[in-house]
Amino acid sequence: KAGVTQTPRYLIKTRGQQVTLSCSPISGHRSVSWYQQTPGQGLQFLFEYFSETQRNKGNFPGRFSGRQFSNSRSEMNVSTLELGDSALYLCASRYRGQLNYEQYFGPGTRLTVT
């Protein structure tokens, strides 16, 4: 079974631009969560999608948004990029019926904002 895939793997953007990141979950997984990872703050929860609906949201500004498609693929968008948005963005998928709530992480997208 193929793992979680994320595209692109690396991205360099300029302040003020916007960016869209993509995540394809493991086949059969309908829950997708997004995280931001930085050296100072660690892993921080952005949002979770299930059945094309946002189920939960972390404490990030409205510049961070996402969506999920009917095939469970998810996208994350950051508008008006700031230098502080430079981070590794991870997505994770899980099968909602799994009792241990195990999430499978993708390799991440490394975003650098200059």
Partner 1 sequence: GQNIDQPTEMTATEGAIVQINCTYQTSGFNGLFWYQQHAGEAPTFLSYNVLDGLEEKGRFSSFLSRSKGYSYLLLKELQMKDSASYLCAVRVFTGGGNKLTFGTGTQLKVEL
**Residue 80: both structure tokens together:** 């008006």
Interface with partner 1 includes 33 (CB under 8 A)? yes
Task: Mark residues 56-95: x for contact with partner 1 by CB under 8 A, - for none.
Answer: xxx-------------------------------x-----
Interface with partner 1 includes 103 (CB under 8 A)? yes
Strands 109-113 and 10-13: parallel
Which residues 6+ apart lie within 8 Å of 43 measured at CB? 35, 36, 37, 90
Q: Considering beta carbons, is residue 14 or 59 the nearer one to partner 1?
A: 59
